[in-house]
Amino acid sequence: MNENPDSRSRYLALALASRKALRSLSDYVRQGTIDAQFESMVGEVVESLKATRDANNLFGPTPKESPFTNYEQVVTLDEVESDLKNQNIDIVEKLSKPLSLHVDEKSRRLDAADAIRFFYALENRALHHYSSQIGSREP
């Protein structure tokens, strides 16, 4: 995966976007607020994951400015999705449902748990791929 000089910045963009989502989820759990940027970001993730499954789409998502659409990012999304699937979590299904406006923090925490797990794992894996490239030798 190292051939493209853009790879590093794409992994970092994925990690940063995941962190942004985690911040929004933290605000949701603590304050019950849901920001529009988070909803838009989740929509991009779902769209990207669905595109890779769509039998009528030969190629999966096409790269856009979104940090979930380039090859390195799509592969990383797939890796995390598979991990969660092994834990019986269908993340596309979970993310496709909007967060509910529960009044108590405990319910909100429960509602957001899988999304937090997903974005945490995504950030972690993207950072790992990014750091692997830092350690690689230059010619």
Partner 1 sequence: MDGTADITNDAASLYRFVESIQTFCELQRGFPAYLEGSKVFLSLIEELSRSTRKYATDFPAGLPNNSDDYRVYRQELRTLRYGWYYVHRFVKPIADADTLHLPGPLINSMVRRLRSVKSFEESKLAILHIRELNYLQVIASGVRDAITQISSFVGSPASFPSDLGLIGIPYSQAKSVFLNSLIAHEIGHFVFEKRQLKDVLAPKIHAILNSTFAPVKDVVLKISDSRRIPTALADWSEELFCDLFAVRFIGPCYSYAFIEIFDLTNYLSLDGGLDKNAAALAVEFSYSHPAYLYRIQKQVEMLKSIDWWRHIRTSKSTCQKILENSESLGADYFSFPFGADLQKYFIECLNQVLTEISALIEDSLGGLDTGVAEYSRLSRTVKDYLLEGVVPSTIRDPDSGKRTAPETVTVLNSAYQLYLDDLPELIGRIEGQKATSVEHRARWTENLENWTLKALDDLTLMSAKTVV
Instruction: Residue 38: name the closest of 112, 106, 93 by CA.
Output: 112
Please count the residues of this chain forming the interface with partner 1, following the rule CB under 8 A.
43
Identified binder of partner 1 from the candidate list 58, 103, 104, 135, rule CB under 8 A: 58
Candidate segments 18-26, 39-47, 84-92, 99-107, binder of partner 1 by CB under 8 A: 18-26
- DSSP one-letter code for 97: S
Identified binder of partner 1 from the candidate list 34, 74, 80, 99, rule CB under 8 A: 74
Q: Which two tokens stand for residue 82?
A: 């598979």
- Within 10 Å of residue 12's Cβ, how many Cβ atoms? 16
Distance, CA of 80 to CA of 88 (rounded, Å): 13
Chain contacts with partner 1 (rule: CB under 8 A)? 3-6, 8-10, 12-13, 15-20, 22-23, 26, 52, 57-65, 67, 69-72, 74-75, 116, 120, 123-124, 127, 130-131, 134
